[in-house]
Structure 1
Amino acid sequence: MTQQSQLLVSAIVVFDIDGVVRDVGGSYRRAIADTVEYFTQDAYRPSLADIDVLKSEGVWNNDWEASQELIYRYFEAQGQQRNSLALDYAKIVAFFQSRYRGSDPDNWTGYICNEPLLLNSSYLNELSHAGIAWGFFSGATRGSANYVLEKRLGLQSPVLVAMEDAPSKPDPTGLMATVQQLTSDILDNSTPVLYVGDTVADMYTVKKARSLDPSRMWIGVGVLPPHVQESLQRRNAYAETLKIAGAKVIFDSVQELTPTEIQKLV
């Protein structure tokens, strides 16, 4: 029985991808640092903590825009006005992609090839067998998302709303579109939804979905990305940030969100 064929489900789980399904500390975050370093002429390379501080503002889900913003802020700290800077966003995107995907658009050789996976397909099968529908809503490009979901995890045409399909988080349009796809064959249209993410923007997305559709239970589930778990102080600070942003529960690993834990939440 597939997730699409189930007519009665106990819950719907929508997963973010970056920091939840795959560890992007050495890929997306590294590409941000490379890009900022390049466009500041090697004067500034943001640390993972610097990037987390920016992300904690809840509006920098798009890593191309995050890179540009860090570049702007560096030059502003040097006394320059951003409207006097001749930054070319297209060139920022192209440089970022050359690091993340690699220089060959048809044969990816960049940082994406070495991203550790944070869940496996058997975990998703457990959810399906427990009557839990699941899908993905991510700010990653569709190509990048499908690379990990289909090529790495071996999923067959999973429900996915990616960067090209919806406005950037915390706009809830993409989350609600994912849920709509997952509920097309579900009899009960009030089935609780859990959105699993690792950033403030993810938790804000849940809040906004709740305000638009208060008839359904919307639950924010926080997952701590691996790079913040390297010290207890950093882990606890990051967890507190997610709680303040609206996470109902926080896990060190996405696979700790078992069918039993899901039932407790709903």
Structure 2
Amino acid sequence: MKAIVIFDIDGVIRDVGGSYRRAIADTVELFTKSYRPTVSDIDRLKSEGVWNNDWEASRELIYRYFESQGQNRDAINLDYGQIVAFFQSRYQGPDPDNWTGYICSEPLLCTPEYFQQLTDNAIAWGFFSGAMRDEALYVLQGKLNLPNIALIAMEDAPGKPDPTGLLAVVGQLEAPESPKPVIYVGDTVADMYTVAKAQQQDSTRTWVGVGVLPPHAQETTESIASYTQTLKKAGATQVVNGVQQLTPEVIFRLIAE
């Protein structure tokens, strides 16, 4: 093994612009009864680096809307359980045992052959995601048919930018006495902050953050430039338009720098 690459899933492996983010907008609109956040509104919230959990992001947008109307959030009666339940009814669908929601129509952003290419070049790989485990496996096993997955999901570790989950999945892939360089690939500020915090906790190896532009950020030249700058400011060493641009050759160059 020459290197380890850990991937976020949402916005990197699958396009969630019409699923998770749509569910955020639906949820905020329902609970405010008037405000539907735009893509830019959600991006601005995510750029703060602490709203990786989309249930919590939905609640925060609801709070901020009512605050903009002059209300104090301490006086706002929000039921977090109801927010989560409605969000999931949109994302998974109304029947949790038979998914028919937005998750069923998420476009893939990579192919199984990409991961085989990494394996063939002695690059170990795994996933650290804020998605629920069954939602992560839906794409990794159900759509990509990836075997022997090293995965840390929402249920397994604190949310990003806490690096516990990233460190844990790296630990699944290597012997501790032989630390290898690690690249973490994500599409948000929280992902890049996670890399920096992992470096603080484990300085025995090289850590590299690579940002990926999610599809919704590539619609205009301005959005590409803005999102790229946001990721670089958060610590991304390199930003790519799609995860498959992170070839073995690029990986080896990044860990050698």
Fold conserved between structures, TM > 0.5: yes
Q: Which residue of 2 aligns with 1:209?
A: 198
In structure 1, distance between residues paired with 2:130 and 2:231:
18
Equivalent runs, 1:33-52 vs 2, <5 Å: 33-41=25-33, 43-52=34-43
Q: Which residue of 2 aligns with 1:86?
A: 77
Query: Per-residue displacement from partner, 1:245-266 (whole Å, max 9, x unpaired)?
Result: 0000010000000000001001
Does residue 251 of structure 2 align to residue 262 of structure 1? Answer: yes
Could you list the runs of 4 or more consecutive aligned residues of structure 1 that deviate by over 4 angstroms after TM superposition? none
Query: Per-residue displacement from partner, 1:174-233 (whole Å, max 9, x unpaired)?
Result: 00000000114x8x6221000000000000000000011111100000000000100010
Taking structure 1 as the reference length, what is the TM-score of the superposition? 0.95
2:125 pairs, out of 117, 130, 134, with 134
2:4 pairs, out of 9, 12, 15, with 12
Taking structure 2 as the reference length, what is the TM-score of the superposition? 0.98
Q: Which residue of 1 aligns with 2:88?
A: 97
SS in 2 for 1:39: helix
Equivalent runs, 1:1-266 vs 2, <5 Å: 9-41=1-33, 43-184=34-175, 189-266=178-255
Displacement of 1:165 = 0.1
In structure 2, distance between residues paired with 1:111 and 1:169:
24
In structure 1, distance between residues paired with 2:101 and 2:187:
23
Q: Unaligned 5+ residue runs, structure 2?
A: none
SS in 2 for 1:60: coil
Q: Partner letter of residue 91 of structure 2?
A: Y
Identity of aligned residues (%): 65
Instruction: Supply the RMSD in Å over aligned alpha carbons.
Output: 0.8
Q: Partner letter of residue 136 of structure 1?
A: F
In structure 2, distance between residues paired with 1:212 and 1:12:
17
Q: Partner letter of residue 95 of structure 1?
A: F
In structure 1, distance between residues paired with 2:209 and 2:128:
13
> Do the aligned residues in 2 keep the contact of 1:150 with 1:157 (CA within 8 Å)?
no
In structure 1, distance between residues paired with 2:147 and 2:200:
33
Q: Unaligned 5+ residue runs, structure 1?
A: 1-8
In structure 2, distance between residues paired with 1:148 and 1:189:
31
Q: Which residue of 2 aligns with 1:5?
A: none
